[in-house]
Chain A
Amino acid sequence: MQLDEFFVTGEPLIYGAMVSIALVTAAIIFILTYFKKWGWLWREWLTTVDHKKIGIMYIISALAMLFRGGMDALMMRIQLAFPGMNFLNAQHYDEVFTTHGTVMIIFMAMPFLIGLMNIVVPLQIGARDVAFPYLNAVSFWSFFFGAMLFNISFVIGGSPDAGWTSYTPLAGAAMSPGPGQNFYLLGLQLSGIGTLATGINFMVTILKMRAPGMKMFQMPIFSWSTLVTSFIIVFAFPILTVALALMTIDRIFGSQFFTLTGEGMPMMWTNLFWMWGHPEVYIVVLPAFGIFSEIISTFARKQLFGYKAMVWSMIVIAGLSFLVWVHHFFTMGMGAFVNSVFSISTMLIAVPTGVKIFNWLGTLYKGRIQLTTPMLWSLAFIPSFVIGGVTGVMLGMAATDYQYHNSYFLVAHFHYVLIAGTVFACFAGLVYWYPKMFGHKLNERIGKWSLWFFVIGFHVCFFPQYFVGLDGMPRRVFTIIPEWMPLNVISTVGAFGMGMGFAIFVYNIYYSLRYNEREKSGDSWDGRTLEWATPTPVPFYNFATVPHVEGLDAYLIMKEKGQTTFDEANLKPIHMPSNTGQPFIMMSIMFVASFGLVFEWLWMAIAGLIGVIVMMAFRSFDYNDGFYVKVDEIKRTERSARGL
Chain B
Amino acid sequence: MSAHELKSGPLEYRSSQGRMNILGFWIFLAAEIVLFSTLFATYAVLFGRTANAPTPGELFEPSTVLVMTFLLLISSFTCGIAVHEMRRGSVKGLITWLIITLVLGLGFLGFEIYEFIHYTHEGVTLQSSAYWSSFFILTGTHGLHVTLGIGWAILLLIQLAKRGLTPVTSRKVFIISLYWHFLDVIWIFIFTSVYLIGMVV
Contacts and interface: CB of A to CB of B under 8 A. Distances in A.
B23 interface: yes
Interface stretch (A102-110, A231-239, A429-437): A231-239
A32 B109 CA distance: 51
Nearest to A237: B31
B38 A238 contact: yes
Interface stretch (B71-79, B92-100, B121-129, B190-198): B121-129
A243 B32 CA distance: 14
B69 interface: no
B38 A262 contact: no
Interface in A509-552: none
B20 A208 contact: yes
Contact of A255 (B21, B45, B51, B133): B133
Nearest to B30: A234
B27 to A, nearest CB: 5
Contacts of A196: 31
A610 to B, nearest CB: 12
Given A249-B137, A256-B129, A200 B39 contact: no
Interface in A238-276: 238-239, 241-243, 245-246, 249-250, 253-257, 259, 261-265, 268, 272, 275
B170 interface: no
A406 B132 CA distance: 34
Given A235-B30, A242-B39, A255 B126 contact: yes
A259 B42 CA distance: 14
Nearest to B28: A200
A617 B159 CA distance: 11
Nearest to A577: B1
A257 B134 contact: yes
Contacts, number: 125
A246 B42 contact: yes
B23 A207 contact: yes
A255 B20 contact: no
A76 B132 CA distance: 42
A269 to B, nearest CB: 10
Interface in A188-224: 196, 199-201, 203-204, 207-209
A105 to B, nearest CB: 20
A200 B24 contact: yes
B79 to A, nearest CB: 19
B19 interface: yes
Interface residues of B, number: 43
B118 to A, nearest CB: 19
Given A234-B27, A257-B42, A617-B155, A575 B130 contact: no
B131 interface: yes
A265 B50 CA distance: 12
B49 A265 contact: yes
A616 B21 CA distance: 16
Nearest to B136: A255
A263 B49 contact: yes
Nearest to B52: A262
Looking at A128, A236, A263, A625, the one whose CB has the most chain B CB atoms below 10 A away is: A263
Given A208-B19, A265-B45, A268-B42, A200 B27 contact: yes
Nearest to A236: B34
A396 to B, nearest CB: 24
A621 B159 contact: yes
B16 A254 contact: no
Contact of A262 (B20, B128, B152, B155): B128
B60 to A, nearest CB: 19
A239 B152 CA distance: 25
A132 interface: yes
B126 A253 contact: yes
A239 B128 CA distance: 24
A623 interface: yes
A239 B38 contact: yes
A265 B34 contact: no
Contacts of A246: 42, 137
B35 interface: yes
Contacts of B20: 131-132, 204, 208-209
Interface in B5-55: 16-17, 19-21, 23-24, 27-28, 30-32, 34-35, 38-39, 42, 45-46, 49-51
B2 interface: yes
A59 B117 CA distance: 49
A91 interface: no
A640 interface: no
B86 to A, nearest CB: 18
Contacts of A254: 126-127
Contacts of B132: 256
B116 to A, nearest CB: 14
B168 interface: yes
A268 B126 contact: no
Interface in B154-171: 155-156, 158-159, 168
Given A249-B137, A263-B51, A268-B42, A256 B23 contact: no
A2 interface: no
B151 to A, nearest CB: 8
Given A241-B35, A620-B159, A263 B131 contact: yes
Nearest to A258: B130
Contacts of A255: 126-127, 133, 136-137
Interface of A: 128-129, 131-132, 196, 199-201, 203-204, 207-209, 234-239, 241-243, 245-246, 249-250, 253-257, 259, 261-265, 268, 272, 275, 574-576, 613, 617, 620-621, 623, 625
9 contacts: A196-B31, A199-B31, A204-B27, A235-B34, A242-B35, A245-B137, A257-B46, A264-B49, A576-B1
Interface of B: 1-2, 16-17, 19-21, 23-24, 27-28, 30-32, 34-35, 38-39, 42, 45-46, 49-51, 126-134, 136-137, 151-152, 155-156, 158-159, 168, 172
Given A268-B46, A623-B168, 6 more contacts: A132-B21, A200-B27, A234-B34, A243-B38, A253-B126, A576-B1
Smallest CB-CB A-B distances: 3 pairs: A263-B49, A255-B133, A238-B35
